[in-house]
Amino acid sequence: MGLYSWVVLLEGIGPEDVLVLQLKEAQRSVIDRSDTATGSPAGPAHAGQRVVEGQRLMQASGDVFLGWATTPLGGQYYGRQLRDMKWSPDPATFTAAGLLAYARLTGTTLARAHARSGDPVPIAAYLGLGGKADRAFADFAVAYADQATADSAGFVEPIRSGRLVSAEKDRCLERPRQGETVA
């Protein structure tokens, strides 16, 4: 079963005065273990609070709308501003070397943010020794890339034959140059 997620559009004094929020259902962390002495969860009792506290630890600049709530039926949610106009490059325009540099930069940044957010002892215990987790992450990344390539190929043939209509048909059928991708 999936988790609920909503996008909320709030309008102020006019159509140009808008705020877009995202509300997402939260659930107990998969690595949250109960305290064996008390039987209670080791982290915050509210799943939304756990997510919010983790976000606050990792963010260099906080979202003033970041918070959590419980519905009348007991559902646990967290909310945040959906878009805060941050810029992000388009990886489809990268060369192979540019994509590799971007992956290293974003991967390192994410790893450092996560390293700041938790106690390294249980994280290390969870991941184990010997590089097994590193290999699992790398294997997943390769399998994901293979699946994305297969999914893309599954769309190209029906677009070429006319069975599937694409608003950007010409762009979808372009053959990428070595080391480049087409979005």
Mean pLDDT of 99-108: 88
Distance CA 66, CA 102 (A): 28
Query: Please, what is the average pLDDT of the chain?
Result: 80
If pLDDT is split at 50, 70 and 90, which confidence band does 182 have? very low
| pTM, rounded to two decimals | 0.49
**Structure confidence by residue, pLDDT tens digits, 61-94:** 778 899 999 999 999 999 998 875 667 788 888 8
**Structure confidence by residue, pLDDT tens digits, 149-173:** 898 888 888 888 888 887 765 555 6
Contact 32, 45 (CB under 8 A): no
> What is the structure's pLDDT at 171?
59
- Domain boundaries in the chain? 5-81, 91-173
C-alpha 53: how far from chain center: 17
- Residue by residue, DSSP assigns 140-156 as HHHHHHHHHHHHHHHHH
**Structure confidence by residue, pLDDT tens digits, 20-49:** 999 999 988 876 655 555 555 566 789 999
Distance CA 6, CA 122 (A): 33
Distance CA 45, CA 42 (A): 8
Dihedral angle over CA of 86, 87, 90, 94, nearest 10:
-130
**pLDDT > 70 fraction of the chain, expressed in percent and rounded:** 80
Higher-scoring residue by pLDDT: 173, 8: 8
> What is the structure's pLDDT at 161?
85
